[in-house]
Structure 1
Amino acid sequence: MRPLRIGVIGSWSGPYAGGGRQFDAGMAVWLAAHNQHIAGRPVELLRRDVPGSAPEQARRHAQDLVESERVELLAGLDFSSNAYAVGNVATQAKLPLVVMNAASSGITARCPFAVRVSFTIGQVALPLARWALQQGLRNVCTVVADYASGVDAESAFVSGITAGGGQVGAMLRVPLSTLDYSAYMLRLRELKPQAVFFFLPSGQMPATFLKFWRDRGMADTGIRLLATGDATDDHYLEGIGELADGLVTSHHYSFAHDSAANRRFTGIFENEYGSHLRPGYFAVAAHDALAAVDAAMSSPAARGNATGERLVDAFRGLKLDSPRGPVEIDAHTRDIVQTVYIRRVERRDGRWVNREFERFERVRDPGV
């Protein structure tokens, strides 16, 4: 049987290498449970390392995977800038591109061969704004990193607050190189909003922001702090748990999600990697990417070893029982439809977790 060759582009070196490891682990868990086969075919994963946002490098790797390695699908993509570049290659080659993280709203609209199994920033930020209004938090400020995803988060959260009659006292944008948040803390003290929403790229920036929040005594002001789940990604939550204690976030996956599918997923994950590596949202999206490829290639729509547009069409309307809960690929947009959870960081059984306590079901990307 001819192997199914999938080109996977992500970060396996540099400051974002944890994302590549999570991609690997999530795919390995799915393959281990399915005898290393997709739709009856053995699988070859051809990885290409693009450490961080480097669209030209991502494009070159994609071109090589298509022309020299003859892959049948492209996948991965942790940064949206890289996804747009690879999307151009996928469109020219007429190959499906399965997006396992990149969260800019425009990716599937720009690339007719892209299918997203992750999330969008707006998809998780807007429900948090609605939840905040339900709690009576009508006077807010935002602090976001000054790049595309930060602006997406700001736009979605602000639109949700203002649509519900709330007010936004200030929208503060932070350079990605920021190490000192003192001036921002001072400004927020002066404004005295009921809540502050922040979005900073997953990794060191949220931890630094939370440390300044604690050290400047911001919790004592009574201001509520809200964020998307990028700030408390499960795979590094143990390292920042105390700083994030009580933080309310919105996201589509938690290691602590209570379902049979997630217990199977986390159980296999822990057997394979031990307790030192916990699955985060990168891992669950990589797992679901292979599940979606298997379902699409096994479907009646893909009968006869479908490729190109026919295979992309086979993804439309797919429904999966994911470890995060029920997910669906929108038949029109090829984007993910899923439950968004409101969570609180808590210590449970000696481990820091994002405990889900409220949900918004069948959420679509509001940017489409």
Structure 2
Amino acid sequence: MRHTKLAGPGIALRFTTICAAALSALATLAWQPGAQAANAPDTIRIGVITSLTGPAAQSGEQMKAGVETWLRLHGATVAGKKLEVLYKDDTGPQADVAKRLATELLGRENADIVAGFVFTPNAMAAAAVADKAKKPMVVMNAASSAVTTKSPYITRTSYTIAQSVKPLAEWAYKTGSRRVFSIVSDYAPGLDADAWFGKTFTALGGAVISSVRVPLNTVDYSAYLQRIKDEKPDAIHVFLPNGQPMVSFIKAYKEKGLDKAGIRFLGGEGWADEDVLGMGGDAMLGIYTAGFYAYSRPGADNARFLDAFAQTVGGRFKPNFLSVSSYDAMGLIAGALAKTGGKADGAAFMEAVKGYSAASPRGTVAIDAATRDIVQTIYIRRIDKKDGQYVATEIDRYDAVKDPAK
């Protein structure tokens, strides 16, 4: 789905003497996903495909930091096996690159598990490779509902668009909204958000008076916001890519006076991230968002995570939902390996995943045995300012939410 520096190490195979026939066999092995090269019996290799350079590098950095924070807190040994993480850079939404990297990881580099994936197209491309190899694949972001249907070897620790948008629509209706204007970026996650908000809100009795899709490269939203103001809804539902598009939109929302006109703002995941809050400033105050994690959420589990995360990144930035889903992915991998006695073969691993449940910085998470997708709490948050800091205050919650698309 949505959302956004350090290239990961490769694995060098050193040989002192090797016959030509053996070298040819190894070259063939490198490009066959299901093939097995020699590997240390006490090591589990986890290949993480993410965006470490390019436009989504910030998301990749969050993902990598979440993995490293889990290792900092829990160590790199599970069931007598050492966990070795291999990072690979897909450079952004590049499905062909992700597929090639998955092929290399599960072939030449003999990874036992493939994980990561900021973007849905990249996850979809890698799914075919993991399925053919019968190797576990743990999705740390890519939020299209369909991802986990592409192979019985896929599970996910992030969320789906429908999973966060449905509670947002329910909350909006419950708290008085009846006429909503929906505006989303014109790409798959935005279309999912528009569809699920509209389906849920209208089923309850509300009306989506207009539904607008804006080009993904839009930088000036003023004309759209003037139209919204003229149509006088009581709320707007917004879904945009993470980062600067959100900031540009919310500033224009305030400049056009939509807040003063009583048109409340309903956003999804990402609007409570530190970078968006920092760039948006006071324009962010009073908006409502739905999501599974904000760094300012209360609780001992999150406090412990924040402390370790700050050590991991040297205090350079706060965690967002990507880092938490990656942190929890490592917890899921460790939990499954503990159940299997360190065996990472696809069938045994996925069977162990189906019963997974654990405490997390975001609250309790579990895996739905039927869909292999995440079950979690979705929080409704209001952006406030406390002690000079912008924070997401939890004002409502929907517990044990499954992906409604499944």
Query: What TM-score do the two structures reach when normalised by structure 2?
Result: 0.87
Deviation string 1:111-150 (CA, Å, 9 cap, x unpaired) is 2211000001110011010101111101101000001000
Counterpart of 2:285 in structure 1 is 245
Counterpart of 1:5 in structure 2 is 45
Deviation string 1:25-71 (CA, Å, 9 cap, x unpaired) is 11111101122223332222111111221111110111011111000
Please say if 1:181 is aligned against 2:229.
Answer: no
Counterpart of 2:350 in structure 1 is 312
Matched position secondary structure for 1:15: coil
CA positional deviation for 1:151: 0.6
Counterpart of 1:325 in structure 2 is 363
| Mapped contact 1:200–1:231 kept (Cα < 8 A) | no
Task: Tell me which amino acid in the other structure corresponds to 1:316.
Answer: K
> Aligned match of 1:282 in 309, 322, 338?
322
> Aligned match of 2:102 in 49, 62, 71?
62
> Aligned match of 1:224 in 249, 264, 268?
264
**Moved segments of 4+, more than 4 Å:** none
CA distance in 1, matches of 2:343, 2:101: 25
Please say if 1:72 is aligned against 2:112.
Answer: yes
Please say if 1:117 is aligned against 2:154.
Answer: no
Please say if 1:298 is aligned against 2:344.
Answer: no
CA distance in 1, matches of 2:321, 2:185: 20
CA distance in 1, matches of 2:148, 2:51: 21
Please say if 1:134 is aligned against 2:192.
Answer: no
| Mapped contact 1:10–1:78 kept (Cα < 8 A) | yes
| Mapped contact 1:297–1:311 kept (Cα < 8 A) | yes
Counterpart of 2:26 in structure 1 is none
CA positional deviation for 1:304: 6.5
Counterpart of 2:32 in structure 1 is none
CA distance in 2, matches of 1:275, 1:298: 32
CA distance in 2, matches of 1:187, 1:263: 43
> Aligned match of 2:212 in 172, 176, 190?
172
Counterpart of 1:159 in structure 2 is 199
Structure 1, 351-360 or 33-42: larger mean CA deviation: 33-42
Please say if 1:205 is aligned against 2:245.
Answer: yes
CA distance in 2, matches of 1:219, 1:348: 20
| Mapped contact 2:80–2:342 kept (Cα < 8 A) | no
Please say if 1:15 is aligned against 2:15.
Answer: no
CA distance in 2, matches of 1:189, 1:79: 33
Task: Tell me which amino acid in the other structure corresponds to 2:175.
Answer: Q
Please say if 1:273 is aligned against 2:310.
Answer: no
Please say if 1:101 is aligned against 2:167.
Answer: no
Residues 213/236 of structure 1: CA separation in 2 closer, same or farther (3 Å cut): closer
Counterpart of 2:377 in structure 1 is 339
Deviation string 1:73-94 (CA, Å, 9 cap, x unpaired) is 0000000011100111100010
Gaps of 5+ in 2: 1-40
| Mapped contact 2:378–2:399 kept (Cα < 8 A) | yes
CA positional deviation for 1:234: 3.5
Counterpart of 2:404 in structure 1 is 366
Residues 349/304 of structure 1: CA separation in 2 closer, same or farther (3 Å cut): closer
| Mapped contact 2:47–2:115 kept (Cα < 8 A) | yes
Matched position secondary structure for 1:14: coil
Query: What TM-score do the two structures reach when normalised by structure 1?
Result: 0.96
CA positional deviation for 1:272: 3.3
Gaps of 5+ in 1: none
Task: Tell me which amino acid in the other structure corresponds to 1:361.
Answer: D
Please say if 1:83 is aligned against 2:131.
Answer: no
Equivalent residues, number: 366
Counterpart of 2:3 in structure 1 is none
CA distance in 2, matches of 1:219, 1:357: 19
CA positional deviation for 1:242: 2.1
